[in-house]
Structure 1
Amino acid sequence: MLTWQLWCALLFVSWFYFLWTRRRFYLLTLKIPGPQGYPIIGMAHKLLRRENVLKEFGFYLDKHGPTIFSWLGPIPFMIVSDPQIIQDIFTSPHCINKGIIYKAVDDGAGLGLFSLTDPRWSVHRKLLNPAFGHKVLLSFLPIFNNETKALLKLFDTLVDDGEKDLIPYLQYFTLGIATQTTMGSDVKLDGGINNNRLLEDYQCVLESMTDMCFSPWLSSKTVRQLFGKEERYSSAKSEIRGFIRKLIERKLARDAEIAENGNPSPLEKNIFLNLATDLLKRGIFSWKNVEDESNVIVFGAFETTANTVAYTLILLSMFPKYQEKAFEEILALFPDPGDFEVTYADTQEMVYLDLILNESMRVIPPVPVVSRQTSQDVLLSSGVVVPKGVQIAIDIFHLHRSKKIWGEGAETFDPEHFLPHHYQNKHPYAFIPFTKGIRNCIGWRYAMISAKITLAKLLRNYKFSTSFKFEDLYFVEDITIKLKTVPLLTLQRRT
């Protein structure tokens, strides 16, 4: 009779043989180069520290080419920075689902548009699309303008007061915009909500979700408790959920009043929370659907917009000649300093600011890497068939910095990359700050309009500078991109 030790040894050998033959099958089938790593763990050990993820991706892409294949433990995965292969993936009906790495988002933010699987994602996306229609976005302009007026007053206190980290100020500002435009409530008017604490809660949850993405064992509540990470994370989630629930309940109470006194305007009906609660009343959404989708949409609306504005200001501080060009364009539209009303027509006149925003998102993409997985075999335009169950990392960061696409100046900041004669012949998927294809970002137009209005007012009223050097920027992989060290900026008043 076999001893239990021998049984364990046989099971291990069988499992090892299964993994080896599976690897062999993928290698022979895909014929895509890449690092194979070690037996059992693959190259998982290279990605444990997210500070190194983008650096490691860049190293292997340089070594093996813009599409590589490897293993994360027993899981086959690809890293892609080739625009044509990215188009194949983003337009395939069999690559709609996000990668398994985003399971952490379900735990932290809820099961919403960000991570829902198809066909539920397609249903929710179709139902919620009206919340980001053009006419609805135009109705948000008074909010964008009014909140930026308040931001100017805040920035006035920072003038000639040394170097400052502007990101917390901008997050506070964009959170106020996000809750008004998507949830219909101004959190600043609610005395029961501590905005600084709320921002800390959101950052805690984001940090914890990212930890779980790159260290899957932290997905276990027991393991988080062992590492002392559970109590704060659980508390932050609870606070955010309570905040979102309060906004929903307030909205339902207002609906009851409106039912007695009259109907809302068509535009009000299309505000995100109005759509979601209407779907709840019709039995299409559950309460959890409303809560999850609301949580995800607020998170996405304020976090990426704050970072985009902040990183643009940082880059313009490092490259003052482009800041001056932007100032001249804005000065021609708004000759008087202080607060002013920016219309949608004004935003269309800010051509050079468009170049700057695009270049900022090229150099520092809001989301550096996104993940998909194949639900069926997928035929790529290269002739390769990617089997069902492969995880795919779309490396936007290195796509945007490819010298083959953007030339020798690919890794520096130069808005002229987006002049028509430079950009018009680029592959349509060479620049994808909000992704593209079937599952593109629902709020990309919202983010662009909000960012342009904010930047127009800030650049008209202040000159930004920094002692931090561009070449010293170190980018950290996160659900949204982060800087290892955030450059501090000095503000001087424009006249």
Structure 2
Amino acid sequence: MLTWQLWGALLLVLWLYFLWTRRRFYLLTLKIPGPLGYPIVGMAHKLIRRENVLNAIGFYLDKHGPTIFSWLGPLPFLIVADPQIIQDIFTSPHCVNKGIIYKAVDDGAGLGLFSLTDPRWSVHRKLLNPTFGHKVLLSFLPIFNNETGALLKQLDTLVDGGEKDLIPLLQAFTIGIATQTTMGSDVKAISDINNNQLLEDYQCVLETMTDMCFSPWLSSRTIRQLFGKEKRYAISKSRIRGFIRKLIERKLARDAEVGDTVNQLPSDKNIFLNLATDLLKRGVFTWKNVEDESSVIVFGAFETTANTVAYTLMLLAMFPMYQEKAFEEILSLFPDSGDFEVSYEDTQQMVYLDLIINESMRVMPPVPIVSRQTSEDLLLSSGVIVPKGVQIAINIFYLHRSKQIWGEDAETFNPDHFLPHHLQNKHPYAYIPFTKGIRNCIGWRYALISAKITLAKLLRNFKFSTSFNFKDLYFVEDITIKLKTVPQLKLERRTL
């Protein structure tokens, strides 16, 4: 008779064989190439170290083609860098939901627009769309200009001081803008607000959420405690919630004193906090909805904008010929240096700066990989049917650097990639820094206008240089793109 140990071993072998044949069945049925991976773990072992993720996925896309199929543990996983397949996915009502990898975001930032599932996402998105309407964005221009003026003074102290890491300074700057434009321009009046502390808390939560995305066992509070990651994470979450709650309570108390909508302009009514609290009073939103959406919207408004500005400055420092062309364009609009007002009409005339920002987000997309999952069977334009429940990773980083799409110099920085005659034959989904389709980024216009005003003022007043070489950039997978080593920048004051 077989001992219980032998029975256990036999059952384990049968289970592994079942998983293996199930995977082979998926591969044969879908007719999509890709690495089969190992029993149980699939390709999960390749994703443990974040600094290797983009290279590992890129290796298999190079080997098997721009659409591959594999397994993340027991989960079927599709990785896509083909613009037509991406369009199929982003425009399908069966691929609106984010992948399960984003469950960590629910824990860290709250259940808001970033990770809500349909149909609740559709309801919230429709209700919150006015907060990023054109008139509302125009009402933010004084804040963008005022805060960038303060940034100029901070940067002026760094002139001729050697190379510095500007990312912390830019993040503190953008979080100040984010809190004012989403929570109200008078947020600075709160005496105990500390942008640096708030920034540290958001960064701690972001780092822990990323750890949980790539190491799902860290989703357990007990495991986080064992690894020493829970205490600071819990404190940071609590402080962020306290800050958000204070702003909501302050807004509701003020409304109770002066009347809900007295003397408010239409754009004021649509500032995020005003709209969210109005939905709360009408019973459309719960208190938790307002808190969650507020936390997510502040994070989304500052993190990607800070990175876009910082990475653009780094690239221009590495490619000074493009920096000089941008400077000449800005100089023609603003002949006097120092602080100046940038209007919306001015931003529309910065054509070359547009090319630079687009190219920066092509080479260094704000979010390198995004995830979706199929809620029903999905028919691709290739004729393949992707079954319900499949996880999908859209590799924006690889898509934006595809030589088949962007040419032999796809992996270097060249704003000419976005000249009209170079774009005319490109697939509309070949460039998706803010994603596209049904669930595109709600704040993409906000990010571009804010970045443009900031860069115009910085490039008009300072020349940026670095000893860091472009070829030495090493990209690390994160919820937002990160660098293993951050290039330091030197500032010189423009004399004109």
TM-score, reference length from structure 2: 0.98
Secondary structure of 2:70's counterpart equals: strand
Q: 2 CA distance for matches of 1:41 and 1:454?
A: 45
Q: CA deviation at 1:28?
A: 1.6
**Partner letter of residue 74 of structure 2?**
P
CA contact (8 A) 1:176 1:186 kept: no
Q: 2 CA distance for matches of 1:494 and 1:126?
A: 45
Matched, 1:135 2:170: no
The answer for the alignment partner of 1:66 in structure 2 is 66
After superposition, where does 1:34-433 map in structure 2 within 5 Å?
A: 34-185=34-185, 188-259=188-259, 262-433=262-433
**Which ranges in structure 1 are unaligned for 5 or more consecutive residues?**
none
Q: 2 CA distance for matches of 1:100 and 1:450?
A: 31
Q: CA deviation at 1:6?
A: 5.3
Secondary structure of 1:94's counterpart equals: helix
Q: 2 CA distance for matches of 1:251 and 1:158?
A: 38
Q: 2 CA distance for matches of 1:118 and 1:6?
A: 47
After superposition, where does 1:5-24 map in structure 2 within 5 Å?
A: 5=5, 8-9=8-9, 11-24=11-24
CA contact (8 A) 1:366 1:433 kept: yes
**Partner letter of residue 318 of structure 2?**
M
Q: 1 CA distance for matches of 2:412 and 2:77?
A: 30
**Partner letter of residue 305 of structure 2?**
T
Q: CA deviation at 1:423?
A: 1.0
**Partner letter of residue 288 of structure 2?**
K
Q: CA deviation at 1:7?
A: 5.5
CA contact (8 A) 1:187 1:195 kept: no
Q: 2 CA distance for matches of 1:261 and 1:376?
A: 43
The Cα offsets for residues 75-101 of structure 1, whole Å up to 9 and x where unpaired, read as 110110000000000000000000000
TM-score, reference length from structure 1: 0.98
Secondary structure of 1:52's counterpart equals: helix
Q: CA deviation at 1:326?
A: 0.2
Secondary structure of 1:375's counterpart equals: coil
Give the length in aligned residue pairs. 495
* Runs ≥4 residues deviating over 6 A: none
Q: CA deviation at 1:19?
A: 1.5
Q: 1 CA distance for matches of 2:185 and 2:140?
A: 13
CA contact (8 A) 1:400 1:431 kept: yes
The Cα offsets for residues 159-193 of structure 1, whole Å up to 9 and x where unpaired, read as 11111111111111111110111010555443312
**Which ranges in structure 2 are unaligned for 5 or more consecutive residues?**
none
Q: 2 CA distance for matches of 1:5 and 1:233?
A: 42
Moved more, 216-225 or 262-271: 262-271
**Partner letter of residue 248 of structure 1?**
I
The answer for the alignment partner of 1:459 in structure 2 is 459
Q: 2 CA distance for matches of 1:383 and 1:32?
A: 11
The Cα offsets for residues 291-312 of structure 1, whole Å up to 9 and x where unpaired, read as 0000000000000000000000
The Cα offsets for residues 297-333 of structure 1, whole Å up to 9 and x where unpaired, read as 0000000000000000000000000000000000000
Q: CA deviation at 1:264?
A: 1.5
